[in-house]
Amino acid sequence: MSARVTVIGTGYLGATHAACMAEIGHEVLGLDVDPDKVATLRSGRVPFYEPGLEELLAKHVATGRLRFTTSYEEVAEFGEVHFSCVGTPQSPGGNAADLRHVDAVIEHLAPLLAGRNALVVGKSTVPVGTAERLAAMLPEDAELAWNPEFLREGFAVEDTLRPDRLVFGVRSAAAEARLRAVYAPVISHGTPVVVTDFPTAELVKTSANAFLATKISFINAMAEVCEAAGADVALLAEALSHDTRIGGRFLRAGVGFGGGCLPKDIRAFMARAGELGVGQALTFLREVDHINMRRRGRVVDLAREAAGGGFLGRRIAVLGAAFKPDSDDIRDSPALNVAAQIHLQGGNVSVYDPKAMDNARKAFPTLAYAASAEDALSEADVVLHLTEWQEFRDLDPAALRDTVARPYVIDGRNALDAGRWRAAGWTYRALGRP
Ligand SMILES: NC(=O)C1=CN([C@@H]2O[C@H](COP(=O)(O)OP(=O)(O)OC[C@H]3O[C@@H](n4cnc5c(N)ncnc54)[C@H](O)[C@@H]3O)[C@@H](O)[C@H]2O)C=CC1
Ligand SMILES: O=C(O)[C@H]1O[C@H](OP(=O)(O)OP(=O)(O)OC[C@H]2O[C@@H](n3ccc(=O)[nH]c3=O)[C@H](O)[C@@H]2O)[C@H](O)[C@@H](O)[C@@H]1O
């Protein structure tokens, strides 16, 4: 059954959620405080790169089923169910989550909801205890639910329409029934639904990201040991993956995890555990964070060694700027972190990414940017492969042999075909592999 749904905060999560809510049959009104973003979305365009999203969004904007506004009054008047999808970044100068946007949504909405029997659904990633606090800010006849989101950038549409599971943190059977009705077309695919209380729902999200970060840092720790022992972490991971208890996903060793979520979420989780007096339970996440940051330093060290001991006067090509392929998101990108470190140490860095150039230029204006991978490689002394775009895997090492000053590639993602690059006369090095 079609419902009138609003989505507040139309960034990576909210724009995807809004388009997918329209796709499953609802009338949707998206709201953002950024008028430029709203203008772009209204014209049927997506202000960031996410495969398949623009087609979906444009289709529903064209029929009028999906609209956008900057007016909270319009949202309150229109919606029966309001999804809050605003950002929860790391606090400036601290590790805790910055909840000012999450609070602002409720502060704006609460006075407008009295007498409307609305359901407000939090989707942002928040420290446990937030939902209980927000619920107390709503008028009596409005209810809160917590419904964390697990989508991955690059697969956002697919993950929203066919998630691994749905988690509903609710305080009443009525709230559960309303969420089940909104998600009915998704649930009809057999999607498991876990119904629970607020704190468990909030913790499912932060513990899922903590587990994923731990899995990546585990394999990167093995990569450190492999490097010292002359072993091969890629084959080690493959062998581990055949044990179904371990599984093969999220065991790709390399320059480590970045993005707008895993790094800030494990830090916020540690900060919240400290506030709850159980900081000790999560001290292992500090190690997860350390292992991850060490990988960035390791790539810089390997590059310096390859450049002959120092970066002065050396040209370093950096392939990749996004924190992962199929995204233009550069938040806490390992690739740009490495590029910036080398630049600060006197290297002439040339960065190329298929989609993230504009965002990279804004965040790191002092780095040099190339028009293509080949352009970045021109006269390079060392090539760093730091985001595993298909375009980079498709490069022809034989054809590029004479483009560079020295054929030396460091594969920070263990994703290039080592045999092919070596056969074409390149020195190929990867993290955790001989
Ligand atoms: N990006 C992702 O893949 C996923 C993100 N999350 C979580 O979802 C939340 C949102 O993340 P992103 O979409 O990546 O952030 P984002 O920064 O891309 O989007 C947040 C949007 O909220 C808007 N906003 C800020 N204050 C507002 C207000 N008072 N009213 C209305 N709009 C407001 C901003 O202008 C921005 O467009 C975070 O808590 C994040 O941890 C969860 C799962 C996946
Ligand atoms: O909370 C969130 O926002 C989201 O965070 C991650 O999604 P995302 O950040 O989009 O990307 P991932 O695919 O998880 O990759 C994160 C980082 O880990 C790196 N990674 C991933 C996998 C791996 O094996 N090795 C590895 O280094 C990636 O390159 C990337 O930098 C989670 O996978 C989502 O489930 C979650 O919803």
Tokens read off for 335: 């690739």
Q: Is residue 70 part of an annotated ligand binding site?
A: no
- Is 196 labeled as ligand-binding? no
C-alpha of residue 124 to centroid of ligand 1, in Å: 7
Q: Is 323 in the pocket of ligand 2 (CB under 6 A)?
A: yes
pLDDT digits (tens, 9 = 90+) for 330-387: 999 999 999 999 999 999 999 999 999 999 999 999 999 999 999 999 999 999 999 9
Per-residue model confidence as pLDDT tens digits over 104-156: 999 999 999 999 999 999 999 999 999 999 999 999 999 999 999 999 999 99
pLDDT digits (tens, 9 = 90+) for 229-246: 999 999 999 999 999 999
Residue 163 in contact with ligand 2 by CB distance below 6 A: no
Examine the pLDDT at 316 and tell me if it is beyond 90. Answer: yes
User: Residue 269's pLDDT is what?
Assistant: 98
| Cβ within 8 Å of residue 38, ≥6 positions away | 10, 30, 31, 32, 68, 69, 70
Closest Cα to atom 17 of ligand 1: 87
161 is in an annotated binding site: no
For residues 274-301, average pLDDT = 98
Is the minimum distance from the CB of 332 to ligand 1 under 6 angstroms?
no
Segment 202-233, tens digit of pLDDT = 999 999 999 999 999 999 999 999 999 999 99
User: Is residue 254 in contact with ligand 2, taking CB distance under 6 Å?
Assistant: yes
Burial (CB count within 10 angstroms: exposed 0-12, middle 13-18, buried 19+), residue 192: exposed
> Which of 7, 8, 32, 327 has most ligand 1 atoms within 8 Å of its beta carbon, as the pocket-test mutant?
32
Amino acid residing at 163: P
Identify which of 122, 170, 164, 142 has the alpha carbon closest to the alpha carbon of residue 13.
122
pLDDT given at position 325: 97
Q: 154 vs 50, 160, 326, 329, CA distance in Å?
A: 6, 12, 5, 10
User: Cβ(198) to ligand 2 under 6 A?
Assistant: no
C-alpha 90 to ligand 1 mean position (Å)? 12
For 212, the 3-state DSSP assignment is: helix
What is the predicted pLDDT for the residue at 1?
80
In Å, what is the CA distance from 27 to each residue of 72, 175, 383? 17, 19, 49
The whole-number pLDDT of residue 75 equals 98
Would the pLDDT of 313 be above 90?
A: yes
Q: Nearest CA to 89 among 103, 106, 101? A: 101
**Ligand index nearest the alpha carbon of residue 97:** 1
pTM of the model: 0.97
